[in-house]
C-alpha cells in the first residue's frame, strides 16, 4: 500500500491503469531484491510477495492469486518447473535464471519471457511490457472467457473427485 501511495504522489498512477500483482520466487536473496527493485520502478507492477522456495510460493499463491510470477528454476527441493506443475491455475511466468539452457524447456511451460541473470532494467522492462500486453490481450479477447470457463470446469471436476 505504501508503494501505491508513493506512486500516486509522484503522479505515476492513472485511473484506468490496472496493476499486475507479482510474486518473486528465488532462493537467492540478492536476486529477489533485484527483481523487487525493478518491480517498484515499473508503474503497472505491484509486488504481492516474495518467497525463497517453491513450497512457500505454492502456499502463497493458493491464498493470494497473482498475475505474474518472476520464477527462478534452480532452487533447493522443488525446482521452478516442478512448482509450475503443482499449480492448479498458472499465471504468467517470467523465468529469471542464470542458465540460458533452460530457455528451451521454458517453451513447454508457456512462459511469457525469460530473463538471464544478471539482467538490466531495460531488459526487465521489455519482459514486463510483454506480460502487460499479453494480459491486455487476454482481458479483451474471447480467450479470457474460455480460460475462465476451463478454470471453473477444473474446479468443479476437482470438487467432484
87-111 pLDDT, tens per residue?
A: 988 999 999 999 989 988 888 888 9
142 or 115, greater pLDDT:
115
Instruction: Give the model's pLDDT for residue 142.
Output: 56
The Cα 11–Cα 157 span in angstroms is 46
14 or 28, greater pLDDT:
28
Instruction: Give the model's pLDDT for residue 16.
Output: 45
The Cα 96–Cα 39 span in angstroms is 13
- Residue 145 predicted with pLDDT over 90: no
Instruction: Give the model's pLDDT for residue 143.
Output: 60
Q: Please, which pLDDT band fits residue 1 given cuts at 50, 70 and 90?
A: very low
Q: Please, which pLDDT band fits residue 160 given cuts at 50, 70 and 90?
A: confident
- Residue 11 predicted with pLDDT over 70: no
pLDDT digits over 122-139, tens only? 999 999 999 999 988 877
98 or 142, greater pLDDT:
98
What's the average model confidence in pLDDT over 112-129?
96
Q: What is the pTM of this model?
A: 0.77
Q: Are 57 and 83 in contact (CB under 8 A)?
A: yes
The Cα 20–Cα 114 span in angstroms is 18
The Cα 68–Cα 20 span in angstroms is 7
What's the average model confidence in pLDDT over 58-81?
95
What's the average model confidence in pLDDT over 24-53?
97
Amino acid at each position: 500500500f505504501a508503494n501505491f501511495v508513493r506512486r500516486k504522489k509522484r503522479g505515476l498512477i492513472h485511473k484506468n491503469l490496472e496493476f499486475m500483482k507479482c510474486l518473486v520466487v528465488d532462493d537467492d536473496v540478492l536476486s529477489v531484491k533485484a527483481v523487487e527493485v525493478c518491480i517498484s520502478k515499473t508503474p503497472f507492477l505491484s509486488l504481492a510477495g516474495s518467497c525463497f522456495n517453491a513450497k512457500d510460493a505454492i502456499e502463497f499463491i493458493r491464498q493470494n492469486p497473482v498475475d505474474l510470477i518472476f520464477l527462478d528454476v534452480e532452487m533447493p527441493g522443488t525446482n521452478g518447473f516442478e512448482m509450475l506443475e503443482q499449480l492448479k491455475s498458472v499465471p504468467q511466468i517470467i523465468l529469471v535464471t542464470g542458465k540460458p539452457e533452460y530457455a528451451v524447456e521454458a517453451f513447454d511451460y508457456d512462459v511469457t519471457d525469460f530473463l538471464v541473470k544478471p539482467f538490466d532494467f531495460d531488459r526487465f522492462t521489455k519482459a514486463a511490457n510483454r506480460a502487460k500486453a499479453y494480459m491486455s490481450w487476454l482481458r479483451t479477447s474471447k480467450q479470457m472467457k474460455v480460460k475462465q470457463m476451463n478454470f471453473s470446469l477444473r474446479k468443479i471436476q476437482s470438487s467432484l473427485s
